[in-house]
Amino acid sequence: MPDINALQSEAYHQSGYFTASQARAHGVSPQLLDHYVRNGRFERRRRGLYRLTGYPSGEHDEIHEAWLAVGPDKAIVSHESALALHALSDHIPNAVHLLVPRRHRGLRPPPGVIVHTNAREHPVPTVWRDGIATTAPARTIVDVADDLQPDQLVMAVRQALARGLLTRGQLEEEADRQRRRSIIDHALAEATQ
């Protein structure tokens, strides 16, 4: 028996979004899903991704859609997109950045998505922001260190420290792990002046 209420409940925890596989897990067949789309109960956002009709738009809908389209079991929001979810710096990403395990490196990303692979075997430090799995602030800042303008990097470090999102030690440890210590040391020196 299809459990529409359970599907809607799951969608409410994901900013109104749900995937076709989540619908199947709740007993909703593709035919029933199409029926609800035609009747206006759900909206088809892209292949395999749906949203409850009338669910209010959010600031990070584009990130949420891309993350769910690739698969929350495969991807973590990272790099510039994670920086936006953490509200660090004024940098505006021009694409949605997702991090996937190396075994998914052949994944074909949806339009507007940049997929990065995690070559290391240890788990990626992850936090949840707006119902989205995101790289932890220290990992995020080190990931974008080479791509941001220096003043934006310093701003991100300063804001993260001031808001207690990370400690200096966590940032230095992640920088050591990724071998980007010199650029992070410079940003830390500027941010703590």
Q: What tens digit of pLDDT does each residue of 162-181 get?
A: 999 999 999 999 999 999 99
∠ CA 171-177-178, rounded to 5°:
90
Q: Which of 141, 161, 125, 165 is nearest to 91 (CA)?
A: 141
Phi, psi of 146 (to 5 degrees): -80, -15
Amino acid at 82: A
Q: What tens digit of pLDDT does each residue of 105-142 get?
A: 777 778 899 999 887 767 889 999 988 999 999 999 99
Q: What is the reported pLDDT for 121?
A: 67
pTM: 0.86
